[in-house]
Amino acid sequence: MTDNTSRIHGTWSSRWTFILAAAGSAIGLGNLWKFPYVAGANGGGAFVLVYLLCIALVGIPVMIAEIMLGRRGRQSPINAMRRVTSEAGLPRFWNSIGWLGVIGALMILSYYAVVAGWALQHIGAALSGDFQGTNALASSQRFAALLGDASSLVLWQSIFMIMTVAVVIGGVVKGLGVAVRVMMPVLLLLLVLLLIFGYREGNFSAGWSFMFNLDFGALTLHGVLVALGHSFFTLSLGMGAIMAYGAYMPDNARIGSTVLMIGGLDTVVSIMAGLVIFPIVFAHPELQPSEGPGLLFVSLPVAFGNMPAGLFFGALFFILVTLAAWSSAISLLEPGVAWLIESKGMSRVTANLSLGLIAWVLGLGTVLSFNAWEDYRLLGFNFFEFLDFITSSVMLPLTGLFIAVFVGWVMKEYIVREELADDSPWMMGIWYPLVRYLSPILVAVVLVAGIYDVLLR
Ligand code: PHE
């Protein structure tokens, strides 16, 4: 570990801490909230298959590349790119990987805090018995009432933003390790419990077929783009988050096996979340898989309200959703903060407060898109949907494309080999062709076709 980085930001104590932190970043609202509703909105099985293919053929290879860049650059994404590009003797254009990432991260953080705020609100709702004996209709109404109440949305959004800023001020290494170590196992355990509940009380077979029966008629080109974008989103790629964490990764840690583990864990959590939610949805005719962003928050209270000790499990579940969101939000804020500290000489506190404020203000647009601005549309999207589309479906794939092309074609092969020196030889054999040919071609084709599809609507 070299120079500035360890002094300014600290180093992960071990490869294991890195895995936990990266898993903490990857596993979040993307798995528990977003995956089920985008799968539901895009028809289920075929979407899930495309999503899994995107994870394997694009997400995992790009994640390896992104960690490599971060570790090679050993700084915030923007400066890491500067360093790696100058090492390669390249024009400054390539720095845009760092820029796009930091801006995209702030845009995502803005709505992420709003949705995490819903989870926070649901902890209290569970504890005060709001879900007790509730049915699908009452649950939908309860959630609609929350969405209609802008001031309470802003309150919860603000609390979550303060939580995030506070940890990043404390320093990522100190703040994160502990949280993740406790949280992940409990989250998995609870998902298993809910899965058993859904299996016994819900319509499991209908939920299962929805997720795994291939109905390609239900999938649009736009849907394919959403699947691709979501594979970046869920693995925290293309935003500097994983690059920034890579900068803190020990030199001799094996990248390949680490990434496979994180990618595997992340995928398992998403699939489990789907298998928890859809059986409940199909057991209640008033609930639709295509419910949209409210899916998690409408369907699960119905389960909690009708299970033994549901009050306890409900509160615990939304605590875990909040924690998972928290450890991801931290990684959305950290890259920009690290850059402001390194390059602008800002203090950690000022950098955090400035970026936190920007994301908070932008988040107000998302809050309003669920009530006062509901009817304002751009390309058929409301503000939140538009922000989500631009970030997940355009910026992330674009940055991912840059990263793949950069590591595959621009970075000198001997440097790549050096970075992978501790990895098994199959890495170069399988990963390198993927990152050079297949991943960039897939991303480019899906990006162009998907955007075309949206413009034509
Ligand atoms: N991967 C996180 C999730 O699935 C979101 C995230 C995206 C976090 C990008 C950091 C960077 O919820």
The structural domains of the chain, ordered by start, are: 5-455 (1.10.4160)
Q: 134 C-alpha to center of ligand 1: Å?
A: 31
Distances (CA, A) of 145 to 152, 153, 176: 10, 11, 34
Which one has a higher pLDDT value, 401 or 75? Answer: 401
In the predicted model, is pLDDT for residue 445 greater than 60? yes
Which pLDDT does position 180 carry in this prediction?
67
Q: Which atom of ligand 1 is the closest one to the Cα of 328?
A: 8
Q: 32 C-alpha to center of ligand 1: Å?
A: 11
Mean pLDDT of 248-277: 91
- Between 75-79, 162-166, 234-238, the lowest mean confidence (pLDDT) is in 75-79
Q: Which atom of ligand 1 is the closest one to the Cα of 396?
A: 9
Convert the pLDDT of each residue in 276-304 to its tens digit: 999 999 999 889 999 999 999 999 999 89
Mutate to test the pocket of ligand 1, among 332, 333, 387, 396 (most ligand atoms within 8 A of CB): 332
Which pLDDT does position 3 carry in this prediction?
42
- Between 6-15, 197-206, 394-403, the lowest mean confidence (pLDDT) is in 6-15
Which pLDDT does position 364 carry in this prediction?
98
Query: CB within 8 A of 16, min separation 6: which ones?
Result: none
Mean pLDDT of 188-207: 90
Which pLDDT does position 1 carry in this prediction?
37
Confidence of residue 7 (pLDDT cuts 50, 70, 90): very low
In the predicted model, is pLDDT for residue 229 greater than 90? yes
Mutate to test the pocket of ligand 1, among 233, 391, 392, 393 (most ligand atoms within 8 A of CB): 233
CB 174 within 8 A of CB 166: no
> What single-letter amino acid sits at 19?
I
CA angle 368/286/43 to nearest 5° reads 75
Give the closest residue (by CA) to ligand 1 atom 10: 236
**Radius of gyration for the chain, computed over Cα atoms and rounded to the nearest angstrom:** 21
Which pLDDT does position 97 carry in this prediction?
72
- Between 221-230, 327-336, 439-448, the lowest mean confidence (pLDDT) is in 327-336
